[in-house]
Each structure stands twice: as C-alpha cells, then as structure tokens.
C-alpha cells in the first residue's frame, strides 16, 4: 500500500477541478487557483509522481454508445483458494462489459458492476462469467441512476 502523503489546500483545489474536467486548459486552472501556469503544471506533475493522480480519462455516455443496461452481479463461490481466485480474476479481466470487481466480506464473495446493451447482452456476459465455476450468481438490474460521480470527496 502506498504511503499517504498529506496535500495542501491549493493541491486539493487543483484536484477538485481536475476531477470535474481534466481537459480544462492549464491557464484557466492556474488562474482559478491563483498560480502561474508553470507552478500549476509543477503541482500537477508532483501529484502524478506521488500517485495521487493515477491517470486522466474521458467519461463516455453509456446511452449514446448503446450500453443502456447496468447490472450489479453478486457472486458466491465455494472455492476459497488462490488458484480459483486467479482463474476468476483472469476471466473477469477478459470481459469488457465488467467495469468493477470487488471482493467482499459477508455472505457475498464478489460484487461486479457491468454495462451491456440489453438483456441478451447480459446473458452473453453471464455465459462467459459462469466459466469460473461459481456457486451462486444473482443479478440486480439498474432501473434508474440517481447519482453517479467519479469525484472523490476532498
């Protein structure tokens, strides 16, 4: 686990702005933060070097790309060993519709978030997923997304 390094108020201001729009021109960001372009660029580079900024990405519209169905998939397994875990990870990493995989404590072993075009798209994903020798798989289909953000609370 990486060492936590405290960051100051100006860095937090920069990070909040980058989370909202990382494509904002550096000159605009620097002006809003009360910095010169070069000072702002150095701070961003330092935050990336520290691993605080992992990467910059574009957020895409699921609906406009024909990926209208979001599914949360609960997985239980009777296999609790390293070999099965590696096999499961290899399978889910190859499935492009799966966006997130979380190993949980409690009665569910894994929670997956997936996006697919529709119900037949989910069935195709399911057929690939069950190759991992799962004990129980259940799905919950999103009817409405009430909040969705990638912004961490700073």
101 φ/ψ angles, rounded to the nearest 5 degrees: -140, 125
Class of domain 9-49: mainly alpha
Q: In what order do the strands lie in the sheet with 136-141?
A: 98-103, 110-116, 69-76, 136-141
At 88-147, the pLDDT tens digits run 999 999 999 999 999 999 999 999 999 999 999 999 999 999 888 889 999 999 999 999
Domain 63-141 fold: Alpha-Beta Plaits (3.30.70)
Say how far apart CA 131 and CA 118 lie, in whole Å. 21
Q: Where are the domains of the chain?
A: 9-49, 63-141
At 41-81, the pLDDT tens digits run 999 999 999 999 999 999 999 999 999 999 999 999 988 88
């Amino acid at each position: 686990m990486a060492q936590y390094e405290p960051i100051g108020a100006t860095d937090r201001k920069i990070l909040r702005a980058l989370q909202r729009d990382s494509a904002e021109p550096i000159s605009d960001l620097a002006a809003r933060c009360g910095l010169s372009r070069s000072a702002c660029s150095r701070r961003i580079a330092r935050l990336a070097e520290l691993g605080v900024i992992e990467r910059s990405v574009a957020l895409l519209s699921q609906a406009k790309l024909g990926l209208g169905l979001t599914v949360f998939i609960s997985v239980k397994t009777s296999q609790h060993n390293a070999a099965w875990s590696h096999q499961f990870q290899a399978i889910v990493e190859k499935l492009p519709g799966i966006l997130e995989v979380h190993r949980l404590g409690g009665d569910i072993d894994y929670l997956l978030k997936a996006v697919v075009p529709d119900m037949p798209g989910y069935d195709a994903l399911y057929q690939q997923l069950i190759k991992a020798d799962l004990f129980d798989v259940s799905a919950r289909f999103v009817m409405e997304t009430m909040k969705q953000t990638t912004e961490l609370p700073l």
